[in-house]
């Protein structure tokens, strides 16, 4: 229990000034970007960041750029004071919480549709005047990119913005959002960002459910049913380790388990850990990725299976 | 005549290390990105940069990412030693020439088509494995974006890379490439780059031809004919100043003058200086932009007409 109060910064320029003054003192800075409503998974990212740098910035910002108007931006959970209390409870606390009001407000009026038309899909920044998007063209396409058409361009763009504002040495992302983590790593490589990106292992509740801010929306019954995801993933890994290397069969069995529990599959894919391309036979490192709906809640989860 | 030898840096990390060591000494850095084959226009950008910062980096890199395989990458002129001599002739010289071999080499093998499919258009990075592109979705579309479909995403992307490698305080771009200048300014705003972008006025030869590295490919006769562009632009401005505010008529007259001289029009547009949207009547600041072919050489030029 540190009870260390983080400094709360809401202004971009003030944030950058803080980082530059710290760098001038030869301090290294770790960034953990979040959308708030923090849980143990987020806290583990912060603990990971603190292994690599002297100072830690946690950003709390629900990014409208990664939601379409049909997605759950308006109901995304939020509890700023609760988040601050959780951050204070960390052994080392954190140094700064960057909590901007609106990262897309450039102080200009734009009456018209500014952005967001992605093949007819309109994102939540409609009319904001923002028009620059970072596209990681291959990795953004499959899996979550299919059902969430503006998601990865929105994530890559806001992370590019955060990197340019916070100027961290290290940034930590959770491997729960596996595709997101790969997209960010590729972006950093391709755009030569001077940021080391670290992937932190997925955290589970004791019963196996992957930690997620969205879990709070699950009813008791849905939560029970949702355990089928992690169970199916563990079974797939175990089967693979026993020599069942046929991905088509493994995939079918994951789908059946989740559907039997009452889940509605968005996708189940077995892909290469690096390229995220579909694999037929388990050889090198693969990852089994799942997205499924329980009631109105869309959950994602994954498990890595390394070459044995 | 400074005859100051610039330090030549070819490695990304070495470049960034230089910038960081200078910043640690509280030095400010100006960047002038070029594709080499320098002329007086480039040198004026450098002189402009030196008004704002203590140190100057000139990058010389012919960016394959902004050419399709049907464009003139392979014949783009180049003279590295000549460029160095010109830089040495500047009163203050320059501090660093950043001349990377290949900004898209990430030390990985990729047998397949990596990038560049833009509605069937293949860019010169085919197979390089690079897949992240910065898109400035509205400003990239018209004018040069129509006839050069990968140009602005290639420019925005390589400039983002250069900003992340060089980490300059100021970057200077020529207003000869008017749309490019606007694209870069918008990218910097939208992605929160900590770089001040300055537009430097277009430079002309004594006879009025806009300075361009590509002018070297014009035959004597084509060069004569190409003077029709600047002549037509001056006439349009003069007509507008006299009260001829109908853009459709002004545009027609520019087209006719260039065609009469033997040029083949790519586009002539009269657009708002900020949004680059077509205007009907000259009211606030507009810019008349031209792209036209003389023989095998595509030339661009423009003239700003401010509200009187």
**Chain A environment of B137 (Cβ under 8 Å):** 115, 131-133
Distance CA A115, CA A110 (A): 11
Closest chain B residue to the Cα of A128, Cα to Cα = B190
Distance CA A120, CA A69 (A): 12
CA A220 to chain centre: 25
Distance CA B155, CA B67 (A): 10
pLDDT digits (tens, 9 = 90+) for B261-308: 999 999 999 999 999 999 999 987 999 999 999 999 999 999 999 976
Q: What is the mean pLDDT of residues A73-97?
A: 96
- Contact A271/B at CB under 8 A: no
Residue A1 within any structural domain of the chain: no
Percent of chain A with pLDDT over 70: 95
pLDDT of residue B110: 53
Candidate from A54-63, A222-231, B1-10 with smallest mean pLDDT: B1-10
pLDDT of residue B115: 47
Domain boundary among the residues A130, A165, A200 is at A200
pLDDT of residue B111: 47
User: Residues A49, A119: one domain?
Assistant: yes
Question: Given a cut of 50, is residue B75 above it in pLDDT?
Answer: yes
pLDDT digits (tens, 9 = 90+) for B130-177: 999 999 999 999 999 999 999 999 999 999 999 999 999 999 999 999
Question: Given a cut of 50, is residue A292 above it in pLDDT?
Answer: yes
User: Residues B193, B219: one domain?
Assistant: no
Structure tokens at B229: 């562009």
Domain boundary among the residues A200, A231, A252 is at A200
CA B287 to chain centre: 16
- Contact B277/A at CB under 8 A: no
Distance from B191 to chain A by nearest Cα, in Å? 5
User: Residues A134, A28: one domain?
Assistant: yes
- Inspect the interface and report whether the beta carbons of A191 and B132 lie closer than 8 Å: yes
Residue A65 within any structural domain of the chain: yes
pLDDT of residue B116: 47
Q: What is the mean pLDDT of residues A239-248?
A: 95
- Minimal CA–CA distance to A127: which of A137, A140, A114? A114
Residue B13, CA atoms < 13 Å, CB-side half-sphere: 3
Residue B307 within any structural domain of the chain: no
Structure tokens at A1: 């229990």
pLDDT of residue A128: 80
pLDDT digits (tens, 9 = 90+) for A141-187: 999 999 999 999 999 999 999 999 999 999 999 999 999 999 999 99
DSSP string, chain A: ---PPPEEE--HHHHHHHHHHHHHTT--EEEEEE-SS--HHHHHHHHHHHTT-SEEEEEE---GGG-BTTSSTTT----HHHHHHHHHTSTT--SEEE--S-TT--S----S--S--BTTB-BTTTTS---EEEEETTTTTSTHHHHSTTHHHHHHHHHHHHHHHH--SEEEEETTSHHHHHHHHHHHHHTT-S-EEEEE---B-TTSPBP-GGGGG--HHHHHHHHHHHHHHHHHHHHHHTT--BHHHHHHHHHHHHHHTT-EEEEEEEEETTT--B-SB--S-EEEEEEEEETTEEEEEEEEE---
pLDDT tier for residue B127 given thresholds of 50, 70 and 90: confident
Cα Rg of chain B, angstroms: 20
Distance CA B29, CA B162 (A): 13
- Minimal CA–CA distance to A197: which of A183, A189, A185? A185
Question: Given a cut of 80, is residue B247 above it in pLDDT?
Answer: yes
User: Residues A48, A182: one domain?
Assistant: yes
pLDDT of residue A279: 96
pLDDT of residue A72: 87
pLDDT of residue B284: 79
Average pLDDT score over chain A = 93
Residue A209, CA atoms < 13 Å, CB-side half-sphere: 21
Distance CA A67, CA A240 (A): 35
Residue B295 within any structural domain of the chain: yes
CA B185 to chain centre: 12
User: Residues B166, B107: one domain?
Assistant: yes
User: Residues B170, B272: one domain?
Assistant: no
Q: What is the mean pLDDT of residues A120-134?
A: 87
Residue A103 within any structural domain of the chain: yes
pLDDT tier for residue A116 given thresholds of 50, 70 and 90: very low
User: Residues A175, A115: one domain?
Assistant: yes
Residue B182 pairs in a beta bridge with none
**Residue from A156, A190, A194, A272 to probe the interface with B (highest B Cβ count within 10 Å):** A190
Host domain of residue B35: 7-200
Question: Given a cut of 70, is residue A118 above it in pLDDT?
Answer: no
Residue B208 within any structural domain of the chain: no
**B192 vs A12, A115, A193: nearest CB:** A12
ipTM: 0.94
Tell me if A257 sits within 8 A of A231, measured CB to CB. yes
pLDDT digits (tens, 9 = 90+) for A189-223: 999 999 999 999 999 999 999 999 899 999 999 99
- Inspect the interface and report whether the beta carbons of A194 and B167 lie closer than 8 Å: yes
- Minimal CA–CA distance to B187: which of B143, B230, B155, B215? B155
Q: What is the mean pLDDT of residues B116-125?
A: 71
Residue A20 within any structural domain of the chain: yes
Q: Annotated catalytic sites of A, by residue?
A: 42
């Amino acid at each position: 229990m540190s009870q260390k109060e983080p400094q709360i910064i809401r202004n971009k320029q003030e944030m950058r000034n803080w980082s530059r003054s710290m760098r001038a003192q030869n301090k290294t800075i770790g960034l953990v970007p979040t959308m708030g409503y923090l849980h143990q998974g987020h806290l583990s990212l912060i603990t990971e960041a603190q292994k690599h740098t002297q100072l830690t910035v946690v950003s709390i910002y629900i990014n409208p750029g990664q939601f379409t108007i049909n997605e759950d931006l308006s109901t995304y959970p939020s509890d700023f004071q609760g988040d601050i209390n959780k951050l204070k409870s960390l052994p080392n606390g954190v140094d700064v919480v960057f909590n901007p009001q609106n990262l897309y407000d450039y102080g200009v009026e734009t009456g018209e549709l500014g952005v967001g038309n992605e093949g007819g899909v309109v994102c939540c920044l409609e009319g904001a005047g923002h028009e620059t998007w970072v596209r990681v063209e291959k990795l953004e396409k499959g899996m979550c990119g299919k059902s969430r058409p503006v998601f990865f361009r929105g994530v890559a763009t806001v992370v590019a913005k955060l990197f340019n504002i916070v100027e961290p040495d290290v940034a930590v992302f959770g491997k729960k959002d596996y595709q997101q983590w790969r997209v960010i790593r590729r972006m950093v490589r391709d755009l030569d960002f001077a940021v080391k990106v670290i992937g932190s292992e997925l955290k589970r509740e004791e019963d196996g459910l992957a930690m997620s801010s969205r879990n709070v929306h699950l009813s008791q019954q849905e939560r029970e049913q949702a355990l089928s995801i992690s169970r199916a993933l563990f079974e797939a890994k175990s089967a693979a380790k026993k020599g069942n290397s046929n991905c088509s069969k493994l995939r079918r069995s994951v789908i059946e388990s989740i559907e039997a529990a009452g889940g509605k599959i968005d996708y189940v894919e077995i892909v290469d850990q690096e390229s995220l391309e579909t694999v037929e036979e388990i050889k090198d490192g693969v990852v089994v990725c799942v997205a499924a709906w329980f009631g109105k809640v869309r959950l994602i989860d994954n498990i890595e299976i390394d070459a044995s």
